[in-house]
Structure 1
Amino acid sequence: KCKELISSKDASATKGLSETAKAIDKAAAKNILHKNTAARRKSRLAKALNAANK
């Protein structure tokens, strides 16, 4: 969902990123994702958002 907002350059992509990051953090807290995997995914989404805003 967040990737779709970023690729469409939607103004609500920042909000979508924070919601996605929250979901990723919850998954990491429950050991569904490794903490480094969660950090990598959040980092890549933030990087894509910053690149789209330029």
Structure 2
Amino acid sequence: MHRTASRWFIRKEDYLQRNPDDNLSSYRYNLTDHLGNVRATLKRASAAVVEVI
């Protein structure tokens, strides 16, 4: 995410990760800054809740 003229831009990269315990897959989202550094990884905990990993 970077700030330009009072606006924030969030870049995301998503991928599918399989949990070896129950063999289910879930999407993970990386939020990166303008240099490509991962600042946060998110996953959906439920329909209305996003969990920061």
TM-score bracket, shorter-length normalisation: under 0.3
For normalisation by structure 1, the TM-score amounts to 0.22
For normalisation by structure 2, the TM-score amounts to 0.22
Q: Relative CO higher for 1 or 2, CA cutoff 8 Å, sep ≥ 6?
A: 1
Larger strand percent: 2
